[in-house]
A and B are shown apart, each in its own frame.
Chain A
Amino acid sequence: MDLSTFLQQLVNGASLGSMYALIAIGYTMVYGVLRLINFAHGDIMMVGAFLTYFAVSFKFPFEAAVALAIFGSIVVGILTDKIAYKPLRNAPKISLLITAIGISFFLENLFNVLFGGVPRAFSAPEYLSKVMHFNGIYMPVTVVIIPIMTVIILASLLWILYRTKYGMAIRALAFDIPTVKLMGINADSIISIVFALGSALAAIGGIFYAVSYPSIDPLMGIIVGLKAFAAAVLGGIGSVTGAVLGGFILGFTEIFVVALFPELGGYKDAFAFFFLILVLLFRPTGIMGEDLERSRF
């Protein structure tokens, strides 16, 4: 592999890793506060992509469509918590998990019934469809824009978590819910913020995905969602930095294995799960999740 190909693949890996990281954060944050693997989270990404698609087809400018889609996804995320998870706060964790799987099937099939399962072409605005060309390297602008945007978004997220009262409450909630309530804090409204943040990031990830692989369908969230979940486990479920790390490791691995061994290309979806199995076998707490007793934000 020569240097220019290497650089090109590096950017591709960063771009793919960004999407996994953005979605993985939602898994990890919800797990952090509720100890729930929210399997419906991957489908929020699909909701984000679909809402953008529809807003654009109603002649909204792309930027407005994105804003609307993020807002819509936040609403869907908060509603799933209020309607499906909140009544089960004191139920066994397995009931929550099964409910999450149910919500996932519900969202997928709802969109299937309403809009059909045929993949739709997702048209990004012109400035995102350009391909840059220098020194023999061809790169779509998106692969450069996506990692930059992701870094900005992650910095904002960390700022919210560590520098605002809401983030402080989220981190405390991950440690001990009853004590947070005894500080006079409405725990349910903080949990809503967690779902809102996770859903917003998932919607952004979904829009990035739709722009990069310009086709969307109601089941698009399944495989990407599962891979992001694998990334969250790899990084250490419950840890935000871990989720980001896991997402990027997965993105780079997927791109580079295919680049170095093209004959393995057909197996690219399997790497995430290969990692997942290895982590579960040898380090179930993941990279950052060293101490199960601690809050992991």
Chain B
Amino acid sequence: MRERLLEIESVTMKFGGVTAIDALSFAIARGEIYGLIGPNGAGKTTIFNIITGNYRPTSGRVLFRGEDISGIKASEAVHRGIARTFQNIRLFKSMSVLENILIGLHEQTKYSYIEAILRLPRYFSYEKMMREKAMEILEEFAIAGFAHSNASALSYGNQRKVEIARALATNPTLLMLDEPAAGMNPIETEELSRIIRKIKEDYDLTILLIEHDMKFVNAICDRVTVLDYGEKIFDGSPADAVVDEKVISAYLGEFRNA
């Protein structure tokens, strides 16, 4: 196995009496596209929240590049190279698309209060550089034409792209996408998987994603972990997942009966 970027070591998460995650372990190698799948309420988003520091696990550890990051601050997780998007889109809606990306670039915009107030050359050179970088990222998602539109004016599919672009702007090593294809039509989903593969190569990313659309998962993920009621029931390739007995009964069975 290649270098392990992220390791989840027997992580348990309890909310009061409810066990949302039960002794879960899995590891993601650098450069992988890794899928986290499972029925609603299986604990997928909880894992995301643990990795990005929103929750401290009840027990177990999260290792990133071999370092324990369990329970770190959200902003610290970003500084270490972890970025995420949300299931429900959380853009700064009254700001322009470009400004949304610029906020993602905030920590790389290295001028001080003084330089900003006195408008020293560093302020101008960084502002210019960051705007160019933001446009470059938007180009990658083919939404540069919307740079000056209000984020809320974009279609649902494009808002998702802006959110991924904004996460990408924070310069991550690990990009975590919570249901990136939710609410997209098949053509948009197709385009999205193409973009995800491209940014993975262009920006040398490792990607962890939560998704319900099995076709999408099959098309893009190298490996998957299937969760049910906070427990891991499968680990392996997506092609094997869809024929696994346990997975079928726990998850895909839902669709058969439906």
Tell me if B225 counts as interface (CB < 8 A to partner A). no
Q: Specify the main secondary structure of chain A where it touches its partner.
A: helix
Contacting pair B107 A185 (CB below 8 A):
yes
- The residue among A160, A186, A187 with the most chain B CB atoms within 10 A of its own CB is A186
Contacting pair A160 B116 (CB below 8 A):
yes
Contacting pair B92 A171 (CB below 8 A):
yes
Contacting pair A295 B75 (CB below 8 A):
no
Contacting pair B113 A166 (CB below 8 A):
yes
Known: A182-B84, A183-B170, A295-B92. A168 touches B106 (CB 8 A): yes
Tell me if B7 counts as interface (CB < 8 A to partner A). no
* Count of inter-chain pairs, beta carbons less than 8 A: 79
CA A221 to CA B113, docked complex, whole Å? 29
Q: How many residues of A contact B (CB 8 A)?
A: 25
Stretch among A107-115, A117-125, A173-181 lining the B interface: A173-181
Tell me if A165 counts as interface (CB < 8 A to partner B). yes
- The residue among A176, A181, A186 with the most chain B CB atoms within 10 A of its own CB is A181
Interface flags, A147-183, vs B, CB<8A=1, else 0: 0000000000000100111101101100110111111
Please name all residues of chain A whose beta carbon is closer than 8 Å to the beta carbon of B166 when the two chains form the complex: 183
Contacting pair B74 A176 (CB below 8 A):
no
Interface positions, chain B 112-131, Cβ under 8 Å from A, are 113, 116-117, 123, 127, 130
CA A186 to CA B79, docked complex, whole Å? 11
Tell me if A294 counts as interface (CB < 8 A to partner B). yes
Please name all residues of chain B whose beta carbon is closer than 8 Å to the beta carbon of A184 when the two chains form the complex: 75, 78-79, 106-107, 170
- The residue among A160, A184, A193 with the most chain B CB atoms within 10 A of its own CB is A184
Q: Which of B54, B75, B99, B116 contacts A185 (CB 8 A)?
A: B75
Closest to A156 in B: B117
Minimum CB–CB distance for B233 against chain A, Å: 30
Minimum CB–CB distance for A187 against chain B, Å: 8
Please name all residues of chain B whose beta carbon is closer than 8 Å to the beta carbon of A165 when the two chains form the complex: 102-103, 105-106, 109, 111, 116, 130
- The residue among B84, B92, B93 with the most chain A CB atoms within 10 A of its own CB is B92
Please name all residues of chain A whose beta carbon is closer than 8 Å to the beta carbon of B78 when the two chains form the complex: 182-184
Minimum CB–CB distance for A125 against chain B, Å: 25
Q: Which of A163, A166, A175 contacts B92 (CB 8 A)?
A: A175
Contacting pair A168 B116 (CB below 8 A):
no
Please name all residues of chain A whose beta carbon is closer than 8 Å to the beta carbon of B93 when the two chains form the complex: 175, 294-295
CA A153 to CA B150, docked complex, whole Å? 27
Known: A166-B116, A183-B166. A172 touches B103 (CB 8 A): yes
Contacting pair B75 A294 (CB below 8 A):
no
CA A89 to CA B105, docked complex, whole Å? 26
CA A253 to CA B86, docked complex, whole Å? 48
Contacting pair B94 A183 (CB below 8 A):
no
Known: A172-B95, A176-B90, A295-B92. A182 touches B74 (CB 8 A): yes
Minimum CB–CB distance for B123 against chain A, Å: 8
Q: Which of B52, B54, B94 contacts A295 (CB 8 A)?
A: B94
Contacting pair A175 B74 (CB below 8 A):
no
Interface positions, chain A 183-209, Cβ under 8 Å from B, are 183-187, 193
Tell me if B104 counts as interface (CB < 8 A to partner A). yes
Contacting pair A175 B94 (CB below 8 A):
yes
CA A295 to CA B111, docked complex, whole Å? 25
Please name all residues of chain A whose beta carbon is closer than 8 Å to the beta carbon of B99 when the two chains form the complex: 168, 171
Contacting pair A183 B113 (CB below 8 A):
no
Contacting pair B116 A164 (CB below 8 A):
yes
A-B pairs with beta carbons under 8 Å apart, 13 shown: A163-B127, A165-B111, A165-B130, A166-B113, A172-B95, A175-B94, A178-B74, A179-B86, A183-B75, A183-B106, A183-B107, A184-B106, A193-B113
Given contacts A182-B52, A185-B75, 7 further A-B contacts (CB under 8 A): A164-B116, A165-B111, A166-B113, A171-B92, A183-B103, A183-B106, A183-B166
